[in-house]
Amino acid sequence: MQYAGAVSRLIGELARLPGIGSKTAQRLAFFLLNAPPEVAENLAAAIREARATVTRCSVCGNLTDIDPCAICSDQTRDRGVICLVQDPRDVAAVEKYRGFKGVYHVLHGALSPLAGVGPEQLNIKSLLARLEGGDVQEVILATNPDVEGDATALYLARLIKPLGVRVTRIAHGLPVGAHLEYADEITLGKAIEGRREIK
């Protein structure tokens, strides 16, 4: 299919976004071209502004438009506990739970030689700098429970433990409200391994 240069460039740029194939890119492009001009201009402005103002927090690495970020500068939060996650989206996920009153550290990825990600590519240096202050008592490793996330957790545990900080890993197991008979065997196995005494 041939479109005028500007149209095909727009389609091309949209198709680079994750989850967008060429057909969806075409639909989006034609929507933007047919809608009132403000729609496209607002979108462009929003992208430009977000790009210009959003940076990584110099403390935790989370995406923010103020530095340090809202969580890091919140005086009511406990700086003694750091929840370590792979991705800014994971911060949002843990925040939804509301029960966690500590602070975060975002790695921006997990160890994956396949994707060319080694320890140097992760946001680890600034984590060590935070731990050196001596105020941190515990680091909760909340990387994903897959092969890469586990390797990352193991690596960080090795690194952090010698500093005298308590290192914990989030529990694996059954989702709340689940029925045992529907759980898969691996999850059930992990749940039984990580069982706790009722007090």
Partner 1 sequence: MILKSLDLVNFRNYHKLYWKPHYGINVITGPNAQGKTNLLEAIYLTGLGFSFRNRDRDVVRWGSDFTSLNATYQLQRSQGLNVDVALTVDVEGKKKVLINGAENKRNLLPGRFGIVLFKPDDLQIIKGPPSRRRDFIDQDLGFIDPVYHRLLQQYRRVVIQRNNLLRLGEVHQESFQVWNEQFYRYGAEVLARRFKLLKQFFPLVREMYRGIAGDGEELDMKYLSTTTLTGVKDNEQLLKDFVREGKTREKEELYKKQSVFGPHRDDIVFFLNQRDVRYYGSQGQIRSIVLALKTAQIRLFHREIKEYPVLLLDDVLMELDEQRQNYLMQLVSDKIQTFITTTTLTDKIIRLSDRVYFINKGMMKEEK
> Footprint of partner 1 on this chain (CB under 8 A)?
111-114, 118-120, 146-148, 150-152, 154-155, 158-159, 184-186, 189
Kindly state the smallest distance separating residue 48's Cβ from partner 1, in Å: 37
Where would I find the beta strands (DSSP E) of the chain?
Answer: 55-56, 63-64, 78-85, 102-106, 138-141, 166-169
Q: What are the strands of the beta sheet with 138-141, ordered from one edge?
A: 102-106, 78-85, 138-141, 166-169
Kindly state the smallest distance separating residue 26's Cβ from partner 1, in Å: 18
Kindly state the smallest distance separating residue 61's Cβ from partner 1, in Å: 19
Kindly state the smallest distance separating residue 194's Cβ from partner 1, in Å: 16
Q: In whole angstroms, how large is the CA radius of gyration of the chain? A: 22
Nearer to partner 1 (CB atom), residue 20 or residue 183: 183
Kindly state the smallest distance separating residue 116's Cβ from partner 1, in Å: 8
- Sorted by sequence, the CB contacts under 8 Å of residue 144 that are 6+ apart come out as 86, 110
Nearer to partner 1 (CB atom), residue 99 or residue 113: 113
DSSP 3-state of 171: coil
Nearer to partner 1 (CB atom), residue 38 or residue 185: 185
Nearer to partner 1 (CB atom), residue 74 or residue 146: 146
Nearer to partner 1 (CB atom), residue 26 or residue 152: 152
Kindly state the smallest distance separating residue 38's Cβ from partner 1, in Å: 38
Q: Which two structure tokens, joined as six digits, stand for 140?
A: 């909760």
For the chain, the distance separating the N- and C-terminal CA atoms, rounded to the nearest angstrom, is 68
Nearer to partner 1 (CB atom), residue 10 or residue 156: 156
The Cα 68–Cα 54 span in angstroms is 12
Q: Crossing angle for the helix pair 5-15 and 22-34, nearest 10 degrees?
A: 130
